[in-house]
Amino acid sequence: MREKIIEKATEMFLNLGFKSVTMDDLASEMGISKKTIYSHFKNKSDLVEQTAMTMSNFITCGIDNIVASQKNPIEELYEIKKFIMIHLKDERSSPLYQLQKYYPKIYTSLKEVQFECTHRCVTKNVIRGMDTGIYRDNLNVEFVSRIYFSGITSIKDNTMFPTQIFSKTELLDHYLEYHLRGIITPEGRKILNSIINSNQE
Q: Which of 19-28, 116-125, 167-176, 181-190 shows the lowest mean pLDDT across its residues? A: 167-176
* 105 within domain boundaries: yes
d(CA 28, CA 30): 5
* Mean pLDDT computed over 13-17: 86
pLDDT reported for residue 90? 52
* 32 within domain boundaries: no
pLDDT reported for residue 123? 97
**Residue 107, Cα to own-chain centre: how many angstroms?**
13
* 111 within domain boundaries: yes
Q: Are 172 and 85 in contact (CB under 8 A)?
A: yes
pTM across the whole model: 0.86
Q: Which tens digit of pLDDT belongs to each residue from 75-103?
A: 999 999 999 888 765 555 467 778 888 99
Report the domain count for the chain.
Answer: 1
Contacts of 133 (CB under 8 A, 6+ apart): 185, 187, 188
* 117 within domain boundaries: yes
**One-letter identity of residue 153:** T
Q: Which domain holds residue 125?
A: 44-200
Q: Which tens digit of pLDDT belongs to each residue from 113-138?
A: 999 999 999 999 999 999 999 999 99
Q: Would the pLDDT of 158 be above 90? A: no
* 50 within domain boundaries: yes
Residue 106: Cβ-neighbour burial (10 angstroms; 0-12, 13-18, 19+): buried
d(CA 103, CA 3): 22
pLDDT reported for residue 170? 86
CATH code for the domain of 182: 1.10.357.10
Q: Would the pLDDT of 67 be above 70? A: yes
* Mean pLDDT computed over 156-166: 85
* 69 within domain boundaries: yes
* DSSP codes of every residue in 179-195: HHHTTB-HHHHHHHHHH
Cα pseudo-dihedral 62, 147, 101, 107, rounded to 10: 40
pLDDT reported for residue 96? 74
* 31 within domain boundaries: no
* 12 within domain boundaries: no
pLDDT reported for residue 106? 95
